[in-house]
A and B are shown apart, each in its own frame.
Chain A
């Protein structure tokens, strides 16, 4: 990491901020994923220099974005930060404008309140918050997450449709990495159900999850006669800031044909139970997954005020922040008008840097 960038991060974030403390994480997130050795050492950061010092930065994660059947150059923006005494100088918008000029489409999950306001004024589309689906696996344990312990009123999850994967000719298994056929599965699933989303080719999935330098994601796949029909990914997170040990599970991907989605979710639930998880959640855009999630015992904030009280941040436990907003800058694309329906997007908490060490 460049010393000037390290100094800026040290001034802007707390001392143990993971991107500062873990060089591997920094390289993984901002390093160039291209195979071209000439550019491999280039980092995906826009920097604003004032008197030779970094006064602002904007990180971005380049991704191909599939828009119907077209492939567009896109990027998730992350770590948008300007030193407090220089925020009036326009450095933040300057940095964002540079990224907006560079890509066909720019995306942001989890912008702060101030960032949402600024991006809206810069012409971004606000798609509202990602839908949070929650399965309560252990109501008693989950009550520790909420003030007043009201989750204990809920019943533990029970699927309305229990899938016998073996009987249906499916084989659901834990894998270390995805094979090339994950790319085909993504293409087919996206084509059938979604108008847009960051390209989930096998290479991307393996970089994002199998090769993550800090998180131990659990990857599952469903096959039928050896044909890949579904992928699902989650991780187990130990909650910090509670007197007792509590674990939660975070689903970050569900790319599957209909029948495989049931089998994968039930496998994830069983696996999460084995790991002592008390709740399992999945943030995704719109309502595309509502039916399958509900069938498998997941609720949304709209279904239950008790569920809506379950916090989403656990490093440490933070009961204040609720919801993950999703915004996009679409003006560089001819297909912009087709993308205003949030239900046609495939976006999850795994996009951008929302599922990150804190």
Chain B
């Protein structure tokens, strides 16, 4: 999947903002195991931010599966989100 880094991809922007990391350090493979600041509380913060940004309501099961950026994109895609 091609990702536009310069502001076009709302998912990356949201994640970068919550985790306080540069957008250009994100990729679909980045996971909670690869970023130290992606901890328990920030996982919750990410989900709340994504719900707000994309206007969806994620289930607890979605949240549990969202362990990397690609999984977040897939979950949001299933709710019809556009990026």
A90 touches B41 (CB 8 A): yes
A122 located at the interface, meaning its Cβ lies under 8 Å from any Cβ of chain B in the complex: yes
| Interface size classification for chain A | 10 to 19
- Beta-carbon contact of B39 and A94 below 8 Å: no
Contact digits for B69-83, partner A, Cβ 8 Å, 1 yes 0 no: 000000000000000
CB–CB A89/B63 < 8 A: yes
Residue among A87, A89, A93, A121 making CB contact with B64, cutoff 8 Å: A89
With A48-B60, A50-B64 already in contact, the answer to whether A91 and B41 are too (CB < 8 A) is no
Tell me, in angstroms, the Cα distance from A121 to B44 when the chains sit together: 12
**Docked complex Cα distance between A228 and B63 (Å):** 54
Task: Point out which of B33, B44, B63 has the most chain A C-beta atoms below 10 A from its C-beta.
Answer: B44
The complex places the Cα of A91 from the Cα of B39 at a distance, in Å, of 11
Nearest B-chain residue to A94, judged by Cβ? B44
Contact status B64-A88, CB under 8 Å? no
The answer to whether the Cβ of B6 comes within 8 Å of any Cβ in the partner chain is no
> How far apart are B14's CB and chain A's nearest CB, in angstroms?
15
Contact check, B60 vs A93: say whether CB atoms are below 8 A apart: no
- Chain A 286-333 interface residues, beta-carbon cutoff 8 Å to B: none
User: In residues 69-109 of chain A, which contact B (Cβ within 8 Å)?
Assistant: 82, 87-94, 97
Q: What is the CA–CA distance of A91 and B40 in the complex, to the nearest angstrom?
A: 7
Instruction: List the interface of chain B (C-beta within 8 A of A).
Output: 32-33, 38-44, 46-47, 60, 63-64, 67
For A93, the chain B residues whose CB sits under 8 A away are 40-41, 43-44
Shortest distance between the CB of A57 and any CB in chain B (Å)? 14
Interchain CB contact under 8 A, A118 and B41: yes
Asked whether, in the complex, the Cβ of B47 is within 8 Å of the Cβ of A90, the reply is: yes
- Which residues from chain A contact B63 at a C-beta distance below 8 Å? 89-90, 94
Chain B residues near A121: list those with CB within 8 A.
41
Q: How far is the CA of A93 from the CA of B47 in the complex (A)?
A: 11
Closest 10 CB pairs of A and B: A90-B43, A93-B44, A90-B44, A93-B41, A88-B32, A90-B40, A92-B40, A121-B41, A89-B64, A87-B40
What's the minimum C-beta distance from A255 to chain B, rounded to whole angstroms? Answer: 37
A residues apposed to B, CB below 8 Å: 48-50, 82, 87-94, 97, 118, 121-122
Choose among A49, A89, A122 the residue that contacts B43 (Cβ–Cβ < 8 A). Answer: A89
A97 to B43, CA, bound (A): 13
Q: Give me 19 other A-B pairs in contact (C-beta within 8 A), A90-B47, A118-B41 excluded.
A: A48-B60, A49-B60, A88-B33, A88-B38, A88-B40, A88-B43, A89-B40, A89-B63, A89-B67, A90-B41, A90-B42, A90-B46, A90-B63, A91-B40, A93-B44, A94-B63, A97-B44, A118-B40, A121-B41
14 contacts between A and B (CB under 8 A): A50-B64, A82-B40, A88-B38, A89-B40, A89-B64, A90-B43, A90-B47, A91-B40, A93-B44, A97-B44, A118-B40, A118-B41, A121-B41, A122-B41
Quote the shortest CB–CB distance from B71 to chain A (angstroms): 12
Q: Looking across the interface, which residue of chain A has its beta carbon closest to that of B31? A: A88
CB distance from B70 to the nearest CB of A (A): 16
In whole angstroms, how far apart are the Cα atoms of A92 and B33 in the complex? 17
Please measure, in the bound complex, the distance between the C-alpha atom of A89 and the C-alpha atom of B64, giving whole angstroms.
6
Bound CA span A90–B64, Å: 8
CA distance A50 to B63 in the complex (A): 11
Contact between A94 and B60 (Cβ–Cβ < 8 Å)? yes
Cβ of A21 to closest chain B Cβ, rounded Å: 29
CB pair A88 B39 closer than 8 Å:
yes
Instruction: Please indicate which of the listed interface residues A48, A49, A90, A92 has the most CB atoms of chain B within 10 Å of its own CB.
Output: A90
C-alpha spacing A87/B40, complex, angstroms: 6
Residues of A within 8 A of B47 (CB): 90
Q: Which residues of B contact A48 (CB under 8 A)?
A: 60
Q: How far is the CB of A96 from chain B (nearest CB, A)?
A: 9
- Report the separation of the CA atoms of residues A100 and B5 in the bound assembly, to the nearest whole angstrom: 36
Bound CA–CA A236/B33 (angstroms): 48
Task: With a 10 A CB-CB cut-off, give which of B33, B38, B39 has the most chain A CB atoms.
Answer: B39
